[in-house]
A = this chain, B = another copy of it.
Amino acid sequence: MQKVSKTEQKQIKSLKYKKYRYKNGLFVVEGVKVINEFLNSDYQLVRLYSLEDVFDVSEEKLRRVDLATLKSLSFLSTPQIALAVFEIKQVKALKYNALTLALDTINDPGNLGTIIRLCDWFDVRDIICTKETVDCYNPKVVQSTMGSLTRVSLHYLDLPQVLQSSGLQIYSSEMTGESVYSAELNQHSILVMGSESHGVSKEISSMSSPLTIPHFGSDNKTESLNVAMATSIMLNEFKRRTIEMKS
């Protein structure tokens, strides 16, 4: 068993906070399955703390620790078998290859994690976020992406400005607008999802074509879908048509 110094312990715990993640350029990943996804990606491992010998990494980066030590490092209520520290990656320049997703401020880490996982599934490789959107290296986001973060790039930018200068068609998900079921959807475009509490901002609405998911049932009192659910339906509508176009 190897000891983890108080200083090292303190540094890892500080990575819960965005300020310290970016100051150190580091973030935390927990659990064998998710750690392996990061090991098999272009993320650089700094240190791996593990109860068991289940990883193929160099000796100098590995620390065999006991459960008490792992518990003292973990952000989870029930720690997994291992915890790893990786370097934050330089984001590649934004390219508009196909559909790009944009998030007009998502605060909930679970929602962002789910949206990243959905993008991975639907082969959407870039997400543009307002600078107010929760950081993708937040431990809760990292855990809920289940490794999808290794395959999707998040760009935290001045969203209205990026949209304006993109030259692309902009769609926004709104409470009223053209039904996404019947609208003609331009695949080389940007789709903006708004926050659950405030929706898409006026500024962004004014430059985009509003799309809506129709209500079902005559007496339907459901106010809204959760933003992650709405994203799954919107992305599904865009992407299933690419399959139909091929066949």
Contact = CB atoms under 8 A, between A and B. Distances in A.
A228 B229 CA distance: 8
A181 B240 CA distance: 7
Nearest to A182: B247
A121 B221 contact: no
A151 interface: yes
Interface string A139-155: 00000001010010000
A118 B216 contact: no
Contacts of A244: 181
Nearest to A220: B123
Given A123-B216, A239-B216, A151 B114 contact: no
Interface string A176-190: 000101100000000
Contacts of A236: 232-233, 236-237
How many chain A residues sit at the interface, stated as a range, is: 35 or more
A180 to B, nearest CB: 9
Interface in A165-223: 179, 181-182, 214-217, 220-223
A229 B228 CA distance: 8
A225 interface: yes
A81 to B, nearest CB: 17
Contacts of A68: none
Contacts of A220: 120-121, 123
A123 B217 contact: yes
A162 interface: no
A207 B121 CA distance: 28
A128 B228 CA distance: 24
Nearest to A239: B216
B214 A243 contact: yes
Interface string A51-80: 000000000000000000000000000000
Nearest to A122: B216
A99 to B, nearest CB: 10
Contacts of A232: 229, 232-233, 236
Given A232-B229, A232-B233, A222 B117 contact: yes
A179 B122 CA distance: 15
A14 interface: no
Contacts of A243: 179, 181, 214
Given A217-B123, A232-B232, A232-B233, A114 B181 contact: no
